[in-house]
């Protein structure tokens, strides 16, 4: 496949202004094209667990895959690769060249709003699975974009927070997965994080971009900013930020770049370097796009759906199974009544923000279980608790009443006013709900109004909310009933529909029509450049009878009358989302109380929890079984049914520790940080002791379920572990594994390593190798894994080298990080490496 153009020749042919134009996007999703010089545009779309776009058009569907922590729970590199290829198939169908993912930041704290989009608390597991995901994408000609580089482990003030962290912790924990991916998968693009690291914004951090990424790691791809995450002109260009996104440029306007050039802040050589990287990137991807247009898709639609279902099930973790209540085989439950409580009629398939994929369908657990167990089972249902963080938007679906715009058509009318407009711009009827996406381009520096004529279904003091990016007001029949006098206190949360909204009540009468008018002013000095001046507003509504219903009481009644109760708990996509960290370690809307009440009413209670993070489980001793389902994608209900019924033997393992109390987590007290002169700083005071590295130093009773833990419907036995040195820095570990149960299944071999004489300065042990092995009932195999001792090296900040001290080291074969089956001692000579 020949390139479309010679990069150096094209670069030489470009004028200075043309080179500058390449250094920023042309639109929200595309780079700049220069057709006269043969330079085509690249389309980049969100893609951590499916192609979201372009960019959020609700008429465009994409397959929704399991989230990253669900992939990590498989501990299966082949599954990660297949998911990468599958997402690439969708990207190709949408003429995308570049996917904005995967996210390889760490699970530092359970309240991280975006943890689900990242893989694990362990850098090796994260790096190895992310590398395979990237290979799957790029083998199909779609660029991955590794993000967010680096230390973006929280959403609170994510655009401005300054992360204070030691070089050792950065190197060993937070940079390590990026390094593994950079070296093993050679991703074509990196995305810088919004935050600062030790006082320097990531997009202009010379140490990160020049010394580490392009220097020590020898990586040579394109570096782009997060959307609106460019914080300087000269500093970012000099540091190595090639591309400001999105476009049109906010900082890299012609005048700004030319001024920096004239003042000697940058040189034309720097502009050439940045432009060359952009040209190389676009040349590669447009060439690949032309080549792949001649080939069939990597994966067919039916095969893709089967892969999603299989991967989702294999990532689910069986945490508890008292008295073998699971699996629910047809023979076991024939003729019984099963109560499905909670979110069984909802598919908690994904988190919010960039991961909120508009999939063609989502299978609910209700539908999945009914299909799996057949018609001879009686299923009953009770919601038990509200699901959403916010009141649902006033909608034209008729659930709350009828709505008609000012033109008399069903829906809402939207009006935009602004200086320089000869007349207001009015659009009728097309809005599905009383909500307009915050930050829409047409609302820039415009006053926004949304108007409808509303006739409620019933009389009562109904509940409403209103929130805007800028000052906003709600009028009913001309009366001001709510006012937000200033900008949103949480603009990122508002953008992703996760900011708290104040509820108010209004007495509506059935069969009477009310004129509802909502006004929003453009925000000024909101603290986030990308949202400056972009009006947006949201109105929520709930009937009094719905809002105040005794959902828990209804669930208890249903559970009492059933032989078995399954509670589906978890987080709606507004509770785990980009833009906002979580408010609590406990499940929202008193789901803990719901589970406790149902388990008291029915001694055969199973919990299926869908979150991307650990949660408090005060009810754990009261229930018979627990399955951690994560956010498993569009085949959600089928995959859950596969696990509950035994169609697939559970094999998932926890990629994060599930502590009992938030107070015992390593970052407690240092998340999300403290304010210094109105600026948020967060200190990673725990250093390298995150996740199981921290919990290894505590009483085991502090943990509900450790890293690497997971049950099966079968049993597996291990022979004696054998370790052989293959050369300096590498060992081979072998162990015989037997499936001694009656069901075929797969088990995880996990190897940890650490010093034989523990030191307060170093973790007791770290994961150094893992592998999944499938065995039929009664079958045995010899599992062999390679241990690279570089993976337990520590970074010496004085010598600026990676070091393994001389001495004896212990290899641990574990059922989990806390359940060690065997050990073997290996003597090592001192080893050290340059970064």
DSSP 8-state secondary structure symbol assigned to residue 472: E
Q: What does 707-745 look like in DSSP terms, one character per residue?
A: TT--B-SS-EEE---EEEEEETTEEEEEEEEEE-SSS-E
Q: Around 780, how many Cα atoms within 13 Å sit in the side-chain half-sphere?
A: 8
Q: Quick one: CA dihedral 148, 154, 158, 162, positive or negative?
A: negative
Question: What is the phi/psi pair of residue 29, to 5°?
Answer: -125, -10
Q: How far apart are CA 691 and CA 758, in angstroms?
A: 18
3-state secondary structure of 427: strand
Enter the DSSP assignment of 673: -
Pairing of strands 658-659, 703-705: antiparallel
Give the whole-angstrom CA distance, residue 241 versus residue 229. Answer: 11
CA separation for the pair 64, 362 (Å, rounded): 9
Distance, in Å, from the CA atom of 401 to the CA atom of 165, rounded to the nearest integer, reads: 54
| Beta-strand relationship, 222-224 and 200-201 | unpaired
**CA atoms of 302 and 332, how far apart (whole Å):** 31
Per DSSP, 501 falls in state -
Tokens 């010496």, residue located: 796
Q: What is the DSSP string of 576-589?
A: SBTTB--S-SSPST
Residues 6+ apart with CB under 8 A from 702: 659, 660, 661, 664, 695
Greatest pairwise CA separation for the chain in angstroms: 84
Tokens found for residue 784 = 């062999």
Collapse the DSSP code of 820 into the 3-class scheme (helix H, G, I; strand E, B; otherwise coil) and give the result.
Answer: strand
Active-site residue list:
226
Q: Residue holding tokens 């570049």?
A: 98
> In 3D, which of 781, 830, 609, 772 has the Cα closest to residue 75?
772
User: DSSP letters along 503-522, please?
Assistant: EEEEEE-TT--EEEEEEEPP
By the 8 A CB rule, do 236 and 203 touch?
Answer: yes
Pick the closest to residue 531 from 560, 499, 573 (CA basis).
499
| Phi and psi, residue 609, nearest 5° | -110, 130
């Amino acid at each position: 496949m020949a390139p479309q153009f010679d990069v150096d020749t094209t670069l030489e042919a470009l004028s200075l202004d043309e080179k500058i134009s390449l250094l920023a996007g042309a639109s929200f999703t595309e780079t700049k094209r220069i057709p006269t010089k043969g330079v085509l545009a690249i389309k980049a779309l969100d893609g951590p667990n499916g192609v979201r776009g372009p960019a959020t058009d609700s008429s465009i569907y994409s397959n929704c895959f399991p989230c990253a922590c669900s992939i990590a729970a498989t501990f299966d590199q082949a599954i990660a690769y297949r998911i990468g290829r599958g997402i690439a198939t969708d990207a190709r169908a949408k003429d995308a060249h570049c996917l904005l993912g995967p996210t390889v930041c760490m699970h530092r704290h359970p309240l991280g709003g975006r943890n689900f989009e990242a893989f694990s608390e362990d850098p090796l597991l994260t790096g190895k699975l992310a590398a395979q995901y990237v290979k799957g994408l790029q083998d199909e000609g779609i660029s991955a974009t590794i993000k967010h580089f680096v230390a973006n482990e929280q959403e609170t003030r994510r655009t401005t927070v300054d992360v204070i962290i030691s070089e050792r912790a950065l190197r060993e924990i937070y940079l390590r997965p990026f390094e593994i991916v950079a070296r093993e998968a050679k991703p074509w693009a990196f995305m810088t994080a919004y935050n600062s690291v030790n006082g320097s914004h990531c997009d202009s951090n010379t140490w990160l971009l020049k010394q580490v990424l392009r220097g020590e790691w020898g990586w040579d791809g394109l570096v782009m900013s997060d959307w609106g995450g460019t914080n300087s002109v000269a500093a970012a260009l000099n540091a190595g930020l090639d591309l400001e996104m999105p476009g049109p440029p906010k900082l890299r306007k012609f005048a700004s770049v030319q001024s920096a050039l004239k003042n000697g802040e940058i040189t034309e050589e720097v502009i050439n370097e940045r432009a060359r990287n952009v040209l190389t990137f676009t040349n590669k991807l447009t060439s690949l796009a032309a080549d792949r247009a001649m080939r069939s898709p990597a994966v067919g639609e039916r095969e893709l759906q089967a892969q999603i279902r299989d991967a989702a099930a294999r990532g689910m973790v069986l945490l508890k199974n008292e008295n073998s209540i699971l699996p629910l085989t047809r023979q076991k439950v024939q003729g019984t009544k099963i109560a499905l409580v909670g979110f069984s009629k909802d598919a908690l398939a994904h988190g919010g923000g960039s991961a909120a994929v508009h999939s063609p369908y989502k299978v609910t657990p209700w539908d999945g279980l009914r299909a799996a167990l057949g018609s001879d089972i009686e299923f009953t249902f009770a919601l038990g608790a509200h699901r959403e963080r916010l009141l649902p938007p006033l909608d034209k679906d008729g659930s709350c009443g009828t709505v008609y715009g000012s033109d008399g058509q069903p829906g809402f009318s939207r009006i935009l006013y602004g200086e320089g407009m000869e007349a207001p711009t009015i659009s009728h009827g097309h809005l599905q709900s009383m909500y307009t996406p915050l930050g829409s381009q047409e609302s820039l520096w415009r006053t926004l109004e949304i108007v409808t004529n509303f006739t409620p279904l019933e009389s009562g003091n109904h509940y409403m909310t209103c929130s805007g990016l800028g000052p906003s007001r709600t009028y009913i029949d001309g009366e001001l009933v709510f006012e937000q006098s200033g900008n949103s206190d949480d603009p990122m949360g508002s953008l992703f529909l996760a900011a708290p909204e104040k509820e108010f009540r209004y007495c509506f009468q059935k069969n009477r029509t009310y004129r509802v008018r909502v006004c929003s002013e453009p925000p000024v000095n909101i603290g986030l450049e990308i949202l400056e001046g972009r009006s947006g507003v949201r109105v929520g509504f709930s009937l009094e009878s719905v809002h105040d219903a005794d959902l828990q009481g209804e669930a208890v009644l249903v559970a009492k009358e059933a032989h078995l109760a399954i509670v589906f708990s978890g987080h709606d996509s507004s509770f785990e989302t980009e833009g906002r960290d979580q408010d609590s370690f406990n499940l929202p809307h008193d789901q803990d109380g719901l589970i406790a009440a149902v388990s008291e009413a029915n001694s055969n209670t199973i919990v299926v929890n869908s979150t991307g993070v650990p949660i408090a489980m005060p009810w754990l001793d009261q229930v018979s079984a627990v399955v951690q389902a994560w956010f498993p994608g569009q085949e959600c209900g089928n995959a859950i049914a596969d696990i509950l019924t035994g169609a697939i033997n559970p094999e998932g393992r926890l990629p994060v520790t599930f502590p009992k109390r938030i107070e015992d987590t390593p970052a407690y007290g240092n998340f999300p940080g403290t304010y210094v002169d109105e600026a948020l700083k967060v200190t990673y005071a725990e250093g390298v002791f995150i996740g199981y590295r921290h919990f290894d130093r505590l009483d085991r009773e502090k943990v509900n379920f450790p890293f690497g833990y997971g049950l099966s419907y079968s049993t597996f036995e291990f022979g004696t572990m054998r370790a052989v040195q293959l050369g300096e820095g590498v060992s081979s570990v072998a162990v015989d594994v037997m499936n001694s149960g009656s069901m075929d299944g797969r088990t995880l071999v996990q190897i940890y390593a650490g010093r034989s004489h523990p030191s307060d300065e170093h973790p007791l042990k770290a994961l150094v190798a893992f592998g999944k092995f499938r065995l039929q009932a009664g079958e045995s195999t010899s599992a062999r894994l390679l241990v690279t001792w570089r993976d337990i090296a520590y970074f010496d900040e004085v010598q600026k080298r990676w070091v393994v001290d001389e001495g004896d080291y212990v290899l641990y074969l574990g059922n989990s990080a806390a359940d060690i089956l065997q050990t073997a001692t290996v003597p090592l000579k001192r080893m050290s490496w340059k970064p």
